[in-house]
Structures are given as C-alpha cells and as structure tokens.
A and B are shown apart, each in its own frame.
Chain A
C-alpha cells in the first residue's frame, strides 16, 4: 500500500505540490465535515496550504487502508490532536479522481 503511505506522508509534510501530484485533472476532493470541495489539482494544492496554515504541524498516521484498481479507503489519525477519520476515494490510472473525508467536527475545530 505504498502509494497511500506516500500520499499521507505528503500531507504530513505540508507538501502541497506532492499531494496535488496524486490528483487527476478532474479530481473532486471533498472534506465532508469541513464542507470544503476542491476541484482540480490546483484547488487541492490550495486546500493543502489552507490546512497547513490552520493546523500547523499536523501529521497523518494510516491506521488501516486498502486500495483496489478504482477505489480506496483509509482510516487515519491526525496527530498530535488524535482526530480519527476515514476517507473514501476513487482512482483512474493510479490518480485520485474523487476523495471524501469523514471525521467528527465536534471533537476538533481547525
């Protein structure tokens, strides 16, 4: 599951370019809890930058994950806050075309 580890590693490093490199041109990236929708790698890159500004130092630990040719799912923990969440996504040719993050906004407000 190396790409998932690499992908969350890019998030942990606040590396917006690296995160965006996982995205397809037509990606729709949604943080369901935050109500934020990013369309296309450029908006995803900006979303990573916003997250880094609002939650500096956050890093993501992958708890469980699986990836199929066209879908993936990840359970993760955002540290050091200990926020647990899950993401569902779709893939095309190894690139993310859709992602939706689910976590509890009642336990953490960025």
Chain B
C-alpha cells in the first residue's frame, strides 16, 4: 500500500474540482471536521466546518465550468502544502477561459485531512478579464 502524502491529498482535491466531482463522498473525506477555508485572503469570508466548505465549493462550481489548474511549483512539509498554480475556467455565456495566478496554502492534520485552506491572488487580474461581461 502506498502512503498518501500531503501533496497527494491536495492534488486529489484539485483533481476533484477539475473533474467537477463535488457531490461525492471523496471531496468531504479530504477535509477535517473543523476545516477553515478562505478562497480569497483577505476579502472573502472564512468558511468553517466540513459541510460548509463542501457546500461553498458546490456553490462555486455553479459559477463556472471547465476548471483547470496548472501547477507551477509546490513546497511541502508534513503539516503544510503550498501550491503555486495558474487557475482558469469558463464563465457562463462565454467560450474563452478566464485565468489568474494563485498560491494556495493548505494545512494538514496528522491524519492527512485538510484543516486549513487559504488562497492568495489578485482580483484585479480576474476583473480585467471579466469587465464588460454581462
């Protein structure tokens, strides 16, 4: 049996999002019961608790489709994974992709579940691509 590393867990999460697989038990199983998630530090509210985080992710995926992430770099310890990515997705009514660079910080418990998830990115990059969109 191959041990699951913190990086494996984070990639599993991102892969589920990329597949749009947000309704199965796999997604919830990646999070600790008391997980805290902030999809944009510092302006987004902190979402607390596994069920609330899963609900937030399900809501988010109704706002876009074809989410894709490209990993630029990863640095990891047993307790933390930091992933530099280029994220992109397609907004409703559009065919082009909206993308921006982002760094995600994931805290992990000893049992391998995610206890914290914080995303840092520049909202101006997103706004510049969506300005004028209906």
Contact = CB atoms under 8 A, between A and B. Distances in A.
A79 interface: no
B75 A105 contact: no
A102 B73 contact: no
Given A73-B80, A84-B42, A106-B124, A64 B105 contact: yes
Interface string B27-67: 00000000000001111000000000000000000000000
B77 interface: yes
User: A-side binding surface: helix, strand, loop or mixed?
Assistant: strand
Interface string B115-130: 0001011111001000
Interface in A28-44: 32-33
Given A84-B41, A102-B101, A107-B43, A32 B75 contact: no
Contact of B105 (A32, A72, A75, A106): A75
Interface in B75-119: 75-77, 79-80, 82, 84, 101-103, 105, 118
B122 A105 contact: yes
**Interface bracket on B:** 20 to 34
A21 to B, nearest CB: 22
Interface string A86-103: 101010000000001011
Interface residues of A, number: 22
Contacts of A32: 101, 122
A75 B75 contact: no
B75 A102 contact: no
Contacts of A100: 84, 103
A56 interface: no
A75 B103 CA distance: 10
Nearest to A70: B75
Interface of B: 40-43, 73, 75-77, 79-80, 82, 84, 101-103, 105, 118, 120-124, 127
Given A73-B82, A102-B101, 5 more contacts: A33-B122, A66-B77, A88-B103, A102-B122, A104-B120
